[in-house]
A and B are shown apart, each in its own frame.
Chain A
Amino acid sequence: MTLADVLAAIVFVALNAYAVLGGADFGGGVWDLLALGPRKERQRELVAEAIGPVWEANHVWLILAIVLLFTCFPPAFARLGTLLHIPLSLVLIGIVLRGSAFTFWRYGADQEQRRWGVVFAIASLMTPLLLGTTAGAIASGAVGGGGQPGGDFYDTYVAPWLTPFALSVGLFALVAFAFLAAVYLTLEARERELQEDFRRRALASGAGLFLAAGLALLLALTGAPRVRDGLIFAAWAVPLHLLTAAAAVTALAALWVRHWRVARVAAVMQVSLILWGWALSQYPYVLPPDLTIAAAAAPDVTLRLALGTLAVGAAVLVPSLRYLFHVFKSSPQP
């Protein structure tokens, strides 16, 4: 394993963290939009309370991934920014609307809060869909082709991501985030009835996740041959599938018998394993079919310093985060 591989893995860890932490915040927005029944307002309040103290910190994982990507793998960043300009711009608009809507929602007056909630919820749908579509476009090997785009506008800037496979990955991301959020919310809820509301939602979206994953796999047969081959023929494929399946079944079973903590761990495992399956299937490429990790890597000195910076950063952050959790988890609730 080279230094570049290590940094590529760290970028992916950051993305994984963003998916299971920030992704769940997006999923919260989905449940805000789909709030139903007699406890509608309490469901929305619970979503807001759960996201409130953590969403900025969760958001930093995305920034970390982006910064590491352009520091350590600049050609990959440049190509993504060029060929996936449209979906990434839409993701950005979604992030802006969602983040600000949430801020205004938190600090605005009561009568405006509902309106902000709508913006928040719509942005929460759009962003995961397009983020997943972007990932799907990368996995399908469409973000390649020698760097300099030359063809007509549609072929160069739209065709790579507007494919059934890429869109199915978008759908998968949306359902996965909603599932994670529902699972976490069963733990956050203090009242029995709310817990039951989110248990039902978690079970439904967990089942939906199977369907979305099946659809994406089906479309991968023609849409993303590399992913398909990786997921079927590689040496790690069978153990990975078994682990993922075990995590998925555990998550649903734990929800069924109301072991919320077990369900949370299993759900995180499940989503993370799917992400790592994607990463492994396209290794050693950052952007298949032609840009490898080694070819995209910055000079060694940059990689070493990036690693050093991460170590220093962790040395500051880990105690700070521990302190944050110490303050808010150990003292009694007021």
Chain B
Amino acid sequence: MPDLLAARSQMAVSLAFHIVFAVIGIAMPVMMVLAERRWQVTGHAIYLDLAKRWAKGTAILFAVGAVSGTVLSFELGLLWPRFMALAGPIIGMPFSLEGFAFFTEAIFLGVYLYGWDRISSRAHLWAGVAVAVSGAASGIFVVIANAWMNAPTGFELVSGQLVNVDPIAAMANAAALSQTIHMTLAAYAATGFAVAGIHAFLLLRDPANAFHRRALEIALMVGAPAAVLQPISGDLSARHIAAHQPMKLAAAEALFRTQAAAPLALGGWPDVAARETRFAVEVPYALSLLAFHDPHAVVKGLDLVPESEWPNVPAVHLSFQIMVAAGTYLALVALWAGWLAWRRADLAHNRWLMRAIALATPVGFVAVEAGWMVTELGRQPWAIYGVLKTADAVTSMPGLMVPFFTFTLLYCFLGVIVAWLLYRHIIRSPVVPEWRGFYMPPGSGT
């Protein structure tokens, strides 16, 4: 395995692992706060139980996410020292802000977890809100840094030297808005549907179970609106990359030839050697329409740049198809559930809806991972689009296969155990809706 591939694989595995925890860390606190609010309004113990379970889930995932996030901050230097030497001064700021958001989240999560009996119910709810807000903020700051890699700005390179560095302009880069909206909605949709899916699965066996019914409601309240809004945000992203990163769009759509009135390729397999996409269903004009809101617009194809500067077209195309299909599925299920709720139908007794939601459990996370692949693989061969190639960013350290396999093994091991812990603490149905105060006396600290 070449060192560059090993480094890219290690980064990919680390991010693919971390993104799951980051996404849940953004959305689960919202569910926890909604459940607590419901408890305060209705006085039903089930809601309190839910709030406590989701708080515990947030705590477990937050702890593991903190660790995997630390790994990433080190890996930037361990694997990509030349990228960091260039990018550090320009995009260090969002990372610093993320650090503070993370710190704030840690503090208020502590208040939330250990403060049930110590502060007023109002203050406790606001502590939960602070966890949710700072969780979303830290995600947004990190995505801003990633957006800068796609749309680098706020500096000039004069014969290899950085001049006119402007970190504020770098944060306000052209991709920041569309990417942060897309990622934040993705977090709510993926987590909301994952939780709703698990409870829907359990409701199929026991539709009258009040615990699962309430959990399903709250999870859908978070996941469904985000899933419905996500296609609109996807449209914003697509139009952005059509204008700023045409090769990413060309690879995502497997568009080898620059053309007006470009069709949209659904499915299919890009044959790079033959420069064509086989077995795809083509929707005439649709790509031009989607990318520029004009059926006759010219869409740039891969033929504009030499093949050495193409991303991996089959991988990007496939990831893009998976993301769009998964996102569409969630949006449709969300609309269906929303329509039934509007008509005041009993969702839990609608077996087909419950099956559809149960099936959605992994779908949001599949979409998150696939979307991440589109944005990362689609930017290749660049680490910083148009500025620094990934091959020039990698460390000179040889033998990178060793850390790659070590960290992959470590992550697999952690993944299995986290899944088991979550099952134990959150998903497993209570025999009776229990009210067992989760309490640990806080040590006075070190």
Contact = CB atoms under 8 A, between A and B. Distances in A.
Interface of A: 21, 24-25, 28, 49-54, 56-60, 62-64, 66-68, 70-72, 74-75, 77-82, 85, 88-89, 91-93, 95-97, 99-100, 102-104, 107-109, 148-149, 153, 157, 181, 184, 187-188, 298-299, 301-302, 305-306, 309-310, 312-313, 316-317, 320-321, 323-324, 327-329, 331, 333-334
A103 B66 CA distance: 11
Given A70-B77, A324-B107, A54 B100 contact: no
A49 B107 contact: no
Given A63-B99, A89-B403, A50 B167 contact: no
Contacts of A51: 443, 446
Contacts, number: 239
A302 B165 contact: yes
B419 to A, nearest CB: 12
B441 A74 contact: no
B444 A188 contact: yes
Contacts of A333: 441
What secondary structure prevails in chain A residues at the interface with B?
A: helix
Interface string B409-446: 01000100100010011000000000000011111111
B446 A85 contact: no
Contacts of A85: 78, 395, 397, 403
Contacts of B82: 78
Interface stretch (B42-50, B90-98, B310-318, B353-361): B90-98
Contacts of B104: 316-317, 320
A310 B96 CA distance: 8
Given A85-B397, A299-B165, A107 B425 contact: yes
Given A67-B99, A93-B410, A305-B168, A100 B64 contact: yes
Nearest to B444: A188
A92 B423 CA distance: 27
Contacts of A79: 81
B327 interface: no
Given A54-B445, A58-B446, A59-B66, A77 B168 contact: no
Contacts of A149: 396
Interface string B97-121: 1111011101111110011011100
B88 interface: yes
B73 interface: yes
Nearest to A66: B73
Contacts of A323: 107, 111
26 contacts: A52-B442, A53-B445, A54-B443, A57-B110, A60-B106, A62-B70, A63-B99, A68-B96, A72-B92, A74-B88, A80-B77, A82-B395, A89-B403, A99-B63, A104-B417, A104-B421, A107-B60, A107-B425, A188-B443, A188-B444, A298-B89, A299-B162, A301-B166, A305-B168, A306-B96, A320-B130
Residue from A66, A301, A317, A324 whose CB has the most chain B CB atoms within 10 Å: A324
